[in-house]
Amino acid sequence: MGYRLLLRDHRGLIGIAFLAMFTSSLGQSFFIGLFQAPISARLGLTAGQFGTTYALVTLIAGFAVLRLGPAIDWIPPRRFALMVLGGLLAGALLLTLSPWWGLGLLGLGLVRFCGQGMMPHLGNTLAGREFTELRGRALGLTSLGMMLGETALPPLVAALLVWLGWQELWGLFGLVLALAWTAVLLRAPWPDAPRSRPARGQRREGPRPFRDGRFWRLLPLLMILPVTMTGLFIYQAQMTADLGSSLGVYALALTGMGLAKLPGALFGGRFVDRLGPVRLARLYLLPFALALGLAMLMGGHLGVWALMVGGGLAMGAQEPIATSVLVRIWGAEHLGTVRATLSACMVFSTGLAPAVLGIALDLGAPFGAILGGMLAFLLAGWWLAQGVLTTLKAAR
């Protein structure tokens, strides 16, 4: 009934957040990776140079999110969305049409910054800030926008590339998104910003997560999935070879991961509202932990499927849980500031994780050992967060 109530009474606000999450697909690694070869050719980069450049651009985008993301706490969300959308579309135009490689790299940076960074920041902040009693369910519904992009866009791209070039395809997606956002910007019920803009020279009020020990103790728990899953995505060939599986099985399992996010998000959001985010924060990584153990022990096709489905269930549940925990600690009125810090860390992780795993593979580490390191990282992050979660439960 909670989901029916949300869709009946708040479909406009849910629609804004959902569209923001779906639009973020244009800046996500899974989407850009579909065009890695033509983008590299247009920029004059080898595959290795593209990977290094991509990591550098991602790190710069993360710093930009950290700097500019808190503005959603005082800039009206409608204006904020318009600026982010404008940056994303401008980046897509530069990336696909610029005659100079420098402007092409600027376009890639804008796509990463506005797509992977600011669009999810907009959607999750709105859903987490504007809902109280049904916050978990609202965040669960919002996160389905990204799941839709991950599930539907790869096969759609493959089908449309039969008739269109990659640049025309980017233009088509940009046009469709621009039309959808025009309707939302004109007709949707946009909320106001919760705070006023700090005066020039005035010290910004509110939390400073990097100076708060609670944030650092929670961060490893919240970073486990983006770090480990990015590594699995990037090094899929080495993973399937070492586990005794195949890329065909991985492709099917990747679809299973996208589908597994649906029950993860919906049930995760529901149980956040019923049981509270603190209790769920201690349990939601269990499917992925079991999947890592199963992949290490069994390997083969079963191991690949376990990693993708277990990771999908946990990823679907993470956003409702993580944002609700942040609100519990720092309050909804400062959610933009705190989420910007977390979003920046997430962006950093997608740039650093491939480098760390690549070094391990170059040193000859088998993928089973890498999976063991991921499991150790998961257990350490879970243990480190227990003190903060215990305090939050006692203060409830």
b/e code 150-189 from CB counts within 10 Å (16+ = b):
bbebbeebeeeeeeeebbebbbebbeebeeebeebeeebe
pLDDT for 55: 78
What DSSP designation does 115 have?
Answer: I
pLDDT for 175: 95
How many Å apart are CA 212 and CA 214, to the nearest integer? 5
- Equal fold, 1-191 vs 210-330+363-396: yes
How many Å apart are CA 281 and CA 221, to the nearest integer? 9
Pick the CATH number of 1-191 from 1.10.3210.10, 3.40.50.620, 2.40.30.10, 1.20.1250.20: 1.20.1250.20
- Please state which CATH number belongs to domain 210-330+363-396: 1.20.1250
Q: In the chain, where does DSSP find H-type helix? A: 2-9, 11-23, 29-33, 36-43, 47-68, 77-97, 101-111, 119-130, 135-160, 166-187, 213-234, 236-243, 247-275, 277-281, 286-298, 300-330, 335-362, 367-394
How many Å apart are CA 237 and CA 250, to the nearest integer? 9
pLDDT for 83: 95
pLDDT for 202: 56
Cβ pair 216, 127 in contact under 8 A: no
pLDDT for 62: 83
Q: Hey, where are the domains in the chain? A: 1-191, 210-330+363-396
DSSP 297-318: HH-HHHHHHHHHHHHHHHHHHH
pLDDT for 290: 95
pLDDT for 396: 56
pLDDT string in tens for the chain (396-residue length): 467 777 777 888 899 999 999 999 998 877 887 787 788 888 887 766 777 788 788 888 888 888 888 888 888 999 999 999 999 999 999 999 887 888 988 999 999 999 988 999 899 888 888 887 778 888 888 888 888 888 888 888 888 888 888 899 999 999 999 999 999 999 888 888 776 666 665 555 667 788 888 889 999 898 899 888 878 877 787 888 889 888 888 878 888 888 888 888 888 888 887 888 888 888 899 999 999 999 999 888 999 999 999 999 999 888 888 888 888 888 777 777 888 888 788 777 766 777 777 778 878 888 889 999 999 999 999 999 988 888 876 555
Tokens of 95: 């990336």
How many Å apart are CA 303 and CA 295, to the nearest integer? 4
pLDDT for 69: 84
Cβ pair 318, 269 in contact under 8 A: no
